[in-house]
Chain A
Amino acid sequence: MAKEDYKGIWVFAEQENGVLSETTFELLAKSADLKEKLGGKDEITAVVLGDDAAAFASTLYSYGAEKVIAAEHANLGQYSARPYAEVLTALSEKYKPSIFLFPASPLGRDLAPRVMCQLRTGLTADAIDLDVDEDGVFVQTTPNFGGNILSHICIMEKRPQMVTVHPKVFSPISPIEGAAGELILEKPEVEADDCYILLETEKRVFEGKPIADCSVLVSGGRGIKSQADLDMLRELAALLGGELASSRPLVDNGWLPHEKQIGQSGTTTKPDFILNVAVSGSVQYLAGMQNAKCIMSINHVASAPIWDVSHYGAVMDYSKLIPALIAEIKARKGL
Chain B
Amino acid sequence: MKILVFVKQVPDTDDVRLDPRTGNLMRDGVQSIINPFDANGVEAALQLKAQCGGQVVAISMGPPQADDVLKKALAMGCDESVLISDRALGGADTLATGYPLAKAAEKIGDYDLIICGRHATDAETAQTGPIIAAFLGIPQVTLVDKLSVEDGFAICRRLLPDRYETVKVKLPALVTVCSEINTPRYPTPINIMKALKKPRAVWNAADLGCEPDMIGIPGSPSSNKKIFEPPKRMTETIFFQGDAEAVARAIADALEAEKII
Q: Which residues of A contact B (CB under 8 A)?
A: 81-82, 85, 106, 109-114, 116-118, 120-126, 133, 137, 139, 144-158, 193-204, 216, 239-241, 248, 252, 259, 265, 272-273, 282-283, 290, 294-296, 307-316, 320-321, 323-325, 327-329, 332-333
Contacts and interface: CB of A to CB of B under 8 A. Distances in A.
Interface in B182-210: none
A145 B228 contact: no
Nearest to B247: A314
B37 to A, nearest CB: 11
Nearest to A283: B230
A113 B160 contact: no
B9 interface: no
Given A151-B224, A203-B163, A314 B169 contact: no
Contacts, number: 240
18 contacts: A114-B133, A123-B95, A145-B11, A149-B229, A149-B230, A150-B228, A151-B227, A196-B169, A202-B166, A248-B14, A273-B258, A282-B14, A310-B235, A312-B251, A314-B241, A320-B244, A321-B248, A325-B248
A120 B215 CA distance: 12
Contacts of B51: none
A147 B18 CA distance: 11
A58 B25 CA distance: 46
Contact of A294 (B14, B163, B169, B258): B258
Contacts of A283: 230
A325 B252 CA distance: 7
B131 interface: yes
A321 B261 CA distance: 18
A313 B165 CA distance: 43
A137 B225 contact: yes
A311 B11 CA distance: 34
Given A155-B221, A314-B240, A329 B255 contact: yes
**9 closest Cβ contacts across the A-B interface?**
A122-B221, A122-B222, A125-B125, A117-B134, A145-B16, A324-B248, A113-B130, A158-B221, A195-B170
Interface of B: 11, 14-18, 23, 25, 36, 93-95, 98, 119, 122-127, 129-131, 133-135, 139-143, 155, 158, 160-170, 173, 220-230, 232-241, 244-245, 247-249, 251-252, 254-256, 258, 260-261
Contacts of B232: 308
Contacts of A148: 229-230
B139 A195 contact: yes
A271 to B, nearest CB: 10
Contacts of B248: 321, 324-325, 327-328
A106 B203 CA distance: 33
A150 B231 CA distance: 10
A106 B244 contact: no
A36 B134 CA distance: 35
Nearest to A135: B225
A203 B244 CA distance: 44
A120 B135 CA distance: 10
A106 B260 contact: no
A123 B123 CA distance: 13
Given A196-B169, A316-B244, A149 B18 contact: yes
A21 to B, nearest CB: 12
A312 to B, nearest CB: 5
B240 A324 contact: no
Nearest to B23: A151
B88 to A, nearest CB: 18
A158 B220 CA distance: 10
Nearest to B17: A146
A313 B254 CA distance: 10
A106 B227 contact: no
A195 B152 CA distance: 10
Contact of B240 (A139, A313, A327): A313
A296 B220 CA distance: 43
Contacts of A149: 18, 227-230
A198 B165 CA distance: 7
A296 B225 contact: no
A85 B126 CA distance: 17
B185 to A, nearest CB: 17
Given A125-B127, A126-B124, A273-B258, A204 B162 contact: yes
Nearest to A154: B225
Contact of A144 (B18, B163, B245): B18
A221 B238 CA distance: 21
B143 A106 contact: yes
B17 A325 contact: no
Contacts of A313: 237-240
Contact of A126 (B125, B221, B226, B237): B125
Contacts of B227: 144, 149-152
Nearest to A107: B160
